[in-house]
Amino acid sequence: MPTFKQSFKKSLKDIYSFIPLLIGTMLLISLISLIPKSFYSYIFTGSFLDVLTGSVFGSILAGNPMTSYVLGGELFKQGISLIAVTAFLVSWVTVGVIQFPVESVTLGKKFALTRNILSFIFSILVAIITVTLYNLL
């Protein structure tokens, strides 16, 4: 059991180590304000394929979930559909393209491959179910 001081220090360290990434991401996101909305309508067409686009982007990008929440939240504000943003958020945290080599070495190639493929499919399904329920409830 850690002491109060140890836990406080660890939490502070966790937050501190994340600050440059968070500030950098927020600054990058702020550049979004310069991009015309027509650009998003070019990538996210408003069709069913948006959910797939969101999943692909989320799978390629990686990092702390907090970054994806900020990025996803700002993209949502720019008018991208909730279903595409949800697929993006879920695949960001569940599909690990960058971590794949480490995962396959430690836990086996078959496991890493199966888990990542399933996570990609699940990100689409989770997005569809979440947004459907959100609209229904």
Partner 1 sequence: MRKKSKIQWYFLIIVLIIYLALLLINFSAFLTSIMFFIDILKKIIPSFLLVFLLLFIIDYFIDPLSVTRHFKEKSIRKWIYALISGTIASGPPYLWYPLLQDLNKKGVSYGIIACFLYCRSIKLPYLPLLIFYFGFKYTVILSVIMIIASVIQGIIIDKIIKQEEI
48 binds partner 1 (CB under 8 A): no
**Can you list the alpha helix ranges (DSSP code H) found in the chain?**
4-30, 37-43, 49-60, 65-77, 82-94, 100-107, 109-136
The first and second tokens of residue 90, run together, are 């879920």
Output 47 or 106, the one with its CB closest to partner 1.
106
Cα distances (angstroms) measured from residue 115 to each of 2, 13, 60, 85, 132: 33, 31, 15, 22, 25
36 binds partner 1 (CB under 8 A): no
Question: Per CB under 8 A, which region of 39-47, 48-56, 92-100 contacts partner 1?
Answer: 92-100
User: Which candidate, 101, 99, 91, places its Cα nearest to that of 56?
Assistant: 91
Query: Which positions touch partner 1 (CB under 8 A)?
Result: 1-2, 4, 7-8, 10-12, 14-15, 17-18, 20-21, 23-24, 26-34, 65-66, 69-70, 72-74, 76, 82, 86, 89-90, 93-94, 96, 99, 102-103, 106-111, 114-115, 118-119, 122, 125-126, 129-130, 133-134, 137
